Amino acid sequence: MKLTGLFFLTMICVFVLDMIWLGFLAKSIYAENIGMLLRKSGEGMAPIWWAAGVVYVCITLGIIYFVLPNAQGNYMLALSGGVMLGLVTYGIYDFTNYSILANWPLRITLIDFIWGMVLCGLSSLFAAFIQSRFFS
C-alpha cells in the first residue's frame, strides 16, 4: 500500500510539472520549432492521453525502482539520481530524434534534454521527501 501511494503521488508530481512546462513555460518554443509535428486542438496541444500516461508511468517507475533505492533517504542522491535518469531517458529520445528525423531542430533536442533532467531530478527529490515523511 505504501508503494502504491508513493507511486501515485510521484506520478502526479511528474504530470503537474510536465503540464506547467508544456502548457505554459515552453509552449511557444515547441510550437515555433516543431509546430508542424504537434497534434493540435485550436491554439493548444492535443496529445493522445493514454500514450502520455504510459510515459508518466515509465518515468515514475524509473524513479521508484532505480532512483529511490539508491538514494536511501538522501535528498541530494535522489536529486542527482533523478537527473541521471532524465539524462538517460530524455537523452535516448531527443538524440535519436535528432539523428534520424529530418528537420528535427538541435535547439529542441537540447532544450528538451535539459528539461528531462530537470523534470526527473525534481520529481525524484519530491518522491524522496514524500517517502521519508509519509511512507517510511
Overall pTM > 0.95? yes
φ, ψ dihedrals at 26, nearest 5°: -115, 10
Report the mean per-residue pLDDT for the chain.
97
Tell me the percentage of the chain whose pLDDT exceeds 70: 100
Radius of gyration of the chain (CA): 16
Runs of H (alpha helix) within the chain: 2-20, 27-34, 49-62, 68-71, 75-100, 106-134
What residue segments make up the domains of the chain, in order of their start? 2-134
How many angstroms separate the CA atoms of 61 and 124, rounded? 11
**Which of 19-28, 39-48, 96-105 is the least confident region?**
39-48
Q: What is the band of 1 on the pLDDT scale with cuts at 50, 70, 90?
A: confident
What does the pLDDT read at residue 136? 85
Per-residue pLDDT band at 91 (split at 50, 70, 90): very high
Query: Residue 72: phi, psi to the nearest 5?
Result: 45, 45
Q: Minimal CA–CA distance to 13: which of 135, 132, 125, 134? A: 125
pLDDT in the model for residue 71: 98
